């Protein structure tokens, strides 16, 4: 049969693919789910009559640092807050991350602090949500994975420059994963690391992950469900160039090489920090977060058996780093949320090739967004709730007593209250605050721990010629001083007790 006489097979006309306009993108299910994530974050972290989201002992000396920079116009190079390490060299390694909190506090007080915290937490969650979409191709699968990630991030939803670090990590991972998919945003990496090193020491984690990501691309092979794809020469040159530029950008900071090497100081010279600060402790598998981590690992294993998904080498390397970090130090649960949850979204979606017809549901989306916006506004904590959380943890009532002791003798105050007193009563020089690093190096941290445990309380108080002591009422050292003839209790508000040396 010639071509001219062949029967013509009728074809079904294709349905026109609807063009996405700005309104269909904005008023869409993914945006609705993003707003729902923000509401859930508020519900989990800020519900109740007393909100403890601002209860971070570090925030006060961060505000003091920013105030010194803004008012004095110079970077801090030595301590001036305490009488124990006054004049000793100290670098403010989070100076850039402190400024947003400081200006927000000057503008709105406690509510300003919470606003910066809220915006950062919302940006991090939204970023994880977008990472899940980038890897899985499905918004709904990413939504459920991000809900789990949200439970992990509550470990450190506090007003800290650290949150900027986690946000920068989300951006970095997005740039690297997009590069694997053929979209080159790597020129943003040097700028990112320039901001990162001046904001928080977590830049070191991001730089190590970038090096791991690049190194995995110099391997080619397949091992069961694990495979690696070698970079093309052009890709390798681009990544190595951006890594070199990012490393050079690290030295653009007010402290030079000292700021670049600071993470190594934390890792190798601050064992008292790691051993005595709760967030540096290992993950407790009996705690709710520990059980969530176990559930995540079991879920990953089961889904792997069911889906038999193939894993690229970079993903396995990131997952190993995240799991090790989260188990070793509880503060690194954020790594699990950022690096592993988007990968879990791949298995949540299942058949990534399945498509569904796109329908115009803008009216429903607009209605849902309005409802969620109202719910977020209603759940947003009020000033009274925020202040109640602060007053429950910090010695607000004792500030006047502390001010009356200024200039009359050395003050020994609770480690977690040091920064608060330095901010509320800057004229008073106390023994220690929660900066930790300088006090570890100078031996003050060890002495403080011996005094409050108590192991050698009176010897430490004598060593530093302490005249006044302010401690939580339930501390063993407070009980000891209360039954000592050498000390007289001169203040007690039910939360804090103050003592004065009488001999």
* Residue written as token pair 């390694």: 93
pLDDT tens per residue, the chain (503 residues)?
Answer: 444 444 444 444 444 445 567 667 777 888 899 999 999 999 888 877 788 889 999 999 999 999 999 999 999 999 999 999 999 999 999 999 999 999 999 999 999 999 999 999 999 999 999 999 999 999 999 999 999 999 999 888 899 999 999 999 999 999 999 999 999 999 999 999 999 999 999 999 999 999 999 999 999 999 989 999 999 999 999 999 999 999 999 999 999 999 999 988 877 777 766 666 777 788 889 888 899 999 999 998 898 888 888 999 999 999 999 999 999 998 899 999 999 999 999 988 865 445 455 565 777 888 998 999 999 999 999 999 999 999 999 999 999 999 988 778 999 999 999 999 999 999 999 999 999 889 999 999 999 999 998 889 999 999 999 999 999 999 999 999 999 999 999 999 999 999 999 97
Q: What are phi and psi of 284, to 5 degrees?
A: -90, 110
Instruction: Record the tokens describing residue 9, joined without a space.
Output: 């097979």
Alpha-carbon gap, residue 150 to 46, rounded angstroms = 13
Class of residue 74 by CB neighbours under 10 A (exposed 0-12, middle 13-18, buried 19+): exposed
Go through the domains of the chain in sequence order and give each one's CATH number: 162-348 (no CATH), 394-501 (3.40.50.12610)
Q: What is the 3-state secondary structure (H, E, C) of 232-280?
A: CHHHHHHHHHHHHHHHHHCCCCCCCHHHHCHHHHHHHHCHHHHHHCHHH
Going across the sheet that includes 226-228, the strands are: 221-223, 226-228, 311-312
Q: What are phi and psi of 472, to 5 degrees?
A: -60, 145
Alpha-carbon gap, residue 473 to 237, rounded angstroms = 61
8-state DSSP, 332: G
CB 406 within 8 A of CB 425: yes
Q: How far is CA 159 from CA 111, 114, 236, 250, 337, in A?
A: 11, 7, 39, 24, 19
CB 190 within 8 A of CB 370: no
* Residue written as token pair 């993470």: 263
Q: What is the helix (H) or strand (E) element at residue 209, kind and residue range? A: helix 203-216
How many CA within 13 A on the CB side of residue 311? 24
In three-state secondary structure terms, 491 is strand
Alpha-carbon gap, residue 84 to 91, rounded angstroms = 17
CB 283 within 8 A of CB 326: yes
Alpha-carbon gap, residue 44 to 150, rounded angstroms = 9
Give the predicted TM-score (pTM) of the model. 0.91
Strands 466-472 and 410-413: parallel
Q: How far is CA 277 from CA 94, 162, 273, 445, 474, in A?
A: 19, 16, 6, 11, 19
Angle at Cα 237 formed by Cα 232 and Cα 241, nearest 5°? 150
Alpha-carbon gap, residue 191 to 171, rounded angstroms = 12
8-state DSSP, 91: -
CB atoms within 10 A of CB 116: 21
Instruction: Record the tokens describing residue 178, joined without a space.
Output: 């997009």
Strands (E), 176-231: 221-223, 226-228
């Amino acid at each position: 049969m010639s071509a001219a006489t062949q029967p013509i097979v009728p074809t079904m006309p294709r349905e026109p693919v609807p063009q996405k306009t700005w309104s269909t993108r904005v008023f869409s299910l993914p945006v609705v789910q993003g707003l729902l994530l923000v509401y859930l974050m508020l519900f989990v972290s800020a519900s109740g009559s007393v909100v403890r989201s601002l209860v971070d002992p570090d925030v006060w000396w961060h505000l003091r640092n920013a105030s010194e920079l803004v008012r004095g116009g110079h970077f801090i190079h030595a301590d001036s807050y305490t009488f124990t390490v006054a004049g000793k060299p100290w670098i403010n390694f989070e100076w850039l991350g402190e400024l947003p909190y400081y200006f927000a506090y000057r503008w709105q007080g406690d509510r300003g602090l919470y606003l910066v915290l809220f915006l950062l937490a919302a940006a991090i969650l939204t970023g994880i949500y977008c990472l899940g979409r980038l890897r899985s191709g499905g918004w709904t699968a990413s939504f459920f994975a991000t809900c789990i990630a949200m439970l992990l991030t509550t470990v450190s939803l506090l007003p800290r420059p650290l949150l900027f670090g986690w946000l920068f990590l989300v951006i970095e991972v997005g740039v690297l994963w997009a590069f694997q998919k053929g979209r080159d945003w790597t020129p943003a990496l040097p700028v990112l690391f320039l901001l990162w090193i001046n904001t928080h020491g977590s830049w070191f984690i991001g730089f190590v992950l970038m090096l791991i990501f690049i190194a995995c691309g110099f391997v080619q092979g397949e091992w069961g469900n694990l495979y690696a794809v070698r970079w093309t020469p052009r890709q390798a040159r681009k990544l190595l160039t951006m890594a070199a530029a990012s490393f050079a950008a690290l030295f653009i900071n007010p402290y030079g090489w000292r700021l670049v090497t600071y993470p190594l100081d934390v890792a190798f010279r601050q064992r008292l920090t790691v051993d005595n600060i709760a967030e540096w402790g290992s993950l407790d598998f009996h705690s709710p977060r520990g059980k969530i981590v176990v559930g995540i690992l079991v879920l990953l294993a089961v889904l792997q058996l069911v889906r038999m998904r193939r894993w690229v080498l970079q993903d396995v390397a990131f997952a190993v780093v995240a799991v090790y970090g989260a188990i070793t130090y509880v503060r690194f649960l954020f790594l699990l949320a950022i690096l592993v949850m988007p990968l879990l979204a791949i298995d949540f979606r299942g058949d990534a090739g399945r498509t569904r017809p796109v329908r115009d549901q803008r009216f429903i989306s607009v209605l849902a967004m309005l409802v969620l916006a109202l719910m977020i506004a209603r759940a947003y904590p009020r000033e009274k709730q925020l202040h109640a959380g602060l007053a429950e943890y910090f010695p607000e009532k004792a500030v006047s007593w502390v001010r009356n002791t200024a200039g009359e003798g050395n003050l020994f105050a609770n480690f977690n209250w040091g920064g608060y007193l330095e901010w509320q009563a800057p004229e008073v020089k106390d023994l220690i605050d929660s900066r930790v690093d300088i006090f570890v190096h100078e031996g003050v941290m060890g002495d403080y721990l011996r005094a409050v445990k108590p192991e050698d309380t009176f010897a430490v108080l004598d060593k530093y010629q302490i005249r006044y002591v302010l401690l939580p009422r339930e501390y063993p050292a407070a009980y000891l001083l209360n039954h000592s003839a050498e000390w007289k209790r001169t203040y007690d508000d039910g939360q804090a007790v103050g003592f004065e040396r009488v001999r």
